[in-house]
Amino acid sequence: MLKKFYLNTENEGLYNITSYVRQTVNESGVTSGIAVVFCPHTTAAITINENADPDVQTDLLFALDKTYPDRPQFRHAEGNSSAHLRSSCVGASETVIIEDGSLLLGTWQGIYFAEFDGPRKRHFFVKVIKG
């Protein structure tokens, strides 16, 4: 089963999309397999991280800003090379194991759509595979 979800993002931020992935797994009826979450954008990403303390998300974005700042030497005419770098660093997808009809996420894990170049109209895919 493949589902496409739409997301209107504000500025840079992490958007918790775990419920969309769970919904897709439930609708699929798959009790054992994997769920692949994929972001088809070059200045956004998918990541798994803590869902309890929002300061973790703030710190993650802060550290990515420090690691990949805008630089005058960048040549990309759109002016968002820093966002492209963060997208590649974090990655376009995550894979989560499904067992007994549930995602095998840790207690403190959530699945996030990471926006590095908002506001934008975004979408992402969730593919559930039985196996």
Structure tokens at 35: 């769920």
Give me the least distance between CB of 84 and Zn ion, in Å please: 6
Alpha carbons 107 and 114: distance in angstroms, whole number = 20
27 part of the interface to Zn ion, by CB under 5 A: no
The footprint of Zn ion on residues 74-93 (CB under 5 A) is 78, 80
Nearer Cβ to Zn ion (85/128): 85
Q: How far is CA 78 from CA 61, 81, 84, 123, in A?
A: 21, 8, 11, 21
**70 interacts with Zn ion by CB under 5 A:** no
Residue 4, H or E segment = strand 2-8
120 belongs to the binding site for Zn ion (CB under 5 A): no
- Work out how close the CB of 88 gets to Zn ion at its nearest, in angstroms, rounded to a whole number: 12
Contact set with Zn ion (CB under 5 A): 78, 80
